[in-house]
Chain A
Amino acid sequence: MVTATYSKEEILEILSAIADPEIPVVSIQEIGMLRDVVVSEDGYEVLLTPTYTGCPAMGIIEADIKAMLLEKGITPVKVTLTYSPAWSTDWMSDEAKEKMRKYGIAPPAHSSCGSIFKTEQEVVCPHCSCQDTEMISRFGATACKALYKCNSCKEPFEYFKCH
C-alpha cells in the first residue's frame, strides 16, 4: 500500500530534471524518452521509450529515475520500456534542439523520415551555421548520431539523426 501520494504531474515534474546521459544539456523529457507515469495502488510506473532499441543509456536512466524518486521517499517505482509509438525526433522541442546546437551537435534537420529510402539533406553546421557540410560517417559515437564535417569552417561535428 502506498502511503505518500503524488500525482502523475508531480512525478513528471520531478523527473524532468533528469538529463540524457549522452547529451547532458537536454533532459529525458525534452528528448521525448519520458512518456508517461501511471499512479496506482501498487505504486508508480514510469513509462520510458528508448531512442534506439539498443540504446545503452537506458540502464543508467532507469537507475537515475529510481534514485531520484527514492530520495524523495517515492516508492515503489517500476520503470517499464515501451516501444509503441516508436520514438521519433519529431517529439523533440525546438528549445531542446537549440540547446543541442549550442552544445555542438547539429539537431535533426527535417521532420521525421517519411520515405524509408529518404536520405539526410542540408545538415547545418552547429558552429558557423553554414549549409555546406558533408557526411563522414552515417554512424557516430552513439547510436543516435552521425559524423559530419563543415566545408566552410572545416570543423567536424556530430549530427543527431532524424528518426
Chain B
Amino acid sequence: MAKQDALFKYTLRLGDNALILSQRLSEWCSYAPLIEEDLALTNLSLDMIGRAQALLKYAGEIEGMGKTEDTLAFRRSERQYYNNLLVEQPNGDFAFTMARQLFISAFELYFYSEMEHSKDKTLAAIAAKTLKEVKYHLEHAKDWVIRLGDGTGESHYRIQHAVNELWMYTGELFEMDDVDKELIDQGIATDLDAIRPLWNKYIGDVLETATLIVPENSYMQTGSRKGIHTEHLGHLLCEMQYLQRAYPDAKW
C-alpha cells in the first residue's frame, strides 16, 4: 500500500471517530439530566467537532482531490465511513453514554499520547492539542462511572448493564490492518498492541472502584475497518447530512 493512501485512510478513521461521537453527544443538548451535564456533554461534542475538522481537513489535503472537511463529512455514505462501531452506538440512558465515553476516552488518552510523537508533524500537532482535551473527558466519564456504580441499586444496575452491552464493541478499538502496519513501520501510526494492556488496566481499575464487574472477553463485534457498521450509523448520517444532501452547497 502506498504511504499516501495509507495516511489518507488512517487520518480519515481518526476524523470519523471524532465526528460521529461529536454528533452523538450533541443529541444530549437540552436533554441532559442536569444543566451542568448539558454543558459538559455539549462541551465534549464541541472539542470533538474541532478535532474532526482538523483531521478531515488534513485527510482532504493528503488525498489531493480537492475535498474539504465539509465534503468529507457530508458527502460520504455509510460504507465510506471508518469510525469505530463503539462511537456510533445510540446514547441510551445517561449511564450508557458515560460507559461509552469512559471506554473511548481512555482509549484516546493512550492513543494520542503515542501519536504526539508521530513522525507526521500534522498528526503530532493535532494529537498534542487533543490530549489536553481528552484528559478532561476521561476524568469526567470516570467520575460518573464510579458515582453510578457505587451509587444506588438502580444506578449500579444501569451502569453495569451499559458496560455489559458495550463491551463487545471495545475489541475493535485495537484492531490493526495493512494501513496500521504500513504506518507503524514509518513511525507515523500508534501501535495498538502496545496500548491495549494500558487500557485494560485502567478500565479494570475504574470498574473495580465503581464496584462493577469487568465483562468476559467473549464475542467481539467488528467491521468498521472495512466500512461495515451497525444499523445506527445510517440513521445518524440521515440527520447529520440532511441539509447538504437536500440543498447541496447551501451556505450558512
CB pair B130 A139 closer than 8 Å: no
Number of A-B contacts (CB under 8 A): 75
Interface size class of B (residues with CB under 8 A): 20 to 34
Verify B54–A53 contact, CB threshold 8 A: yes
Pairwise interchain contact B54-A83, C-beta atoms closer than 8 A: yes
Residue from A52, A53, A86, A137 in contact with B40 in the complex, judged by beta carbons closer than 8 Å:
A137
Total residues of chain A contacting the partner, CB 8 A: 26
Q: Does chain A have a CB within 8 A of B48?
A: yes
Main secondary structure, interface of B, reads helix
A-facing residues in B116-131 (Cβ within 8 Å): 121-122, 124-126, 128-131
B132 A163 Cβ-Cβ under 8 A: yes
Contact call A84/B133, Cβ cutoff below 8 A: no
* B139 and A84 within 8 A (CB): no
* Contact (Cβ within 8 A) A84 B47: no
B119 to chain A minimum Cβ distance, whole angstroms, is 14
Least Cβ distance of A147 to chain B in Å? 7
Interface SS of A by simple majority: loop
* CB < 8 Å neighbour of B132 from A55, A82, A113, A139: A113
Residue of A nearest to B134 (CB): A116
Q: Does B136 touch A at the CB level, under 8 Å?
A: yes
The chain A residue with its CB closest to the CB of B41 is: A139
Of A54, A87, A113, which one neighbours B51 at CB under 8 angstroms? Answer: A54
Contact of A53 among B50, B113, B122 (CB under 8 A): B50
Residue of B nearest to A81 (CB): B54
Are A143 and B131 interface neighbours, CB within 8 A?
A: no
Give chain B nearest CB distance to A79 CB in angstroms: 14
Evaluate contact between A53 and B133: CB separation under 8 angstroms: yes
Min CB–CB distance A139 → chain B (angstroms): 4
Complex Cα–Cα for A151 and B122 (A): 44
Q: Is the CB of A53 within 8 A of B140?
A: no
Check if B126 sits within 8 Å of A83, measured CB to CB.
Answer: yes
* A143 and B36 contact, CB distance less than 8 A: no
Most buried by B among A53, A116, A161, A163: A53
A139 to B46 CA separation, bound complex (whole angstroms) = 11
Interface members, chain A 113-163 (any B CB < 8 Å): 113, 116-117, 119, 136-141, 143, 147, 161, 163
Residue of B nearest to A146 (CB): B136
A43 at interface, CB cutoff 8 A: no
Q: Assess whether B125 is in contact with A139, with CB atoms less than 8 Å apart.
A: no
Cβ-closest chain A residue relative to B18? A53
Is B109 an interface position by the 8 A CB rule? yes
**Roughly how many angstroms separate A116 CA and B128 CA in the complex, as a whole number?**
11
- Spell out A's residues near B (CB within 8 Å): 50, 52-56, 82-87, 113, 116-117, 119, 136-141, 143, 147, 161, 163
9 A–B pairs (Cβ distance < 8 Å), ordered by A: A52-B47, A52-B50, A56-B46, A84-B121, A84-B128, A86-B129, A113-B135, A116-B131, A137-B40
B interface residues with partner A (beta carbon < 8 Å): 36, 39-40, 43-44, 46-51, 53-54, 109, 113, 121-122, 124-126, 128-133, 135-136, 139-140
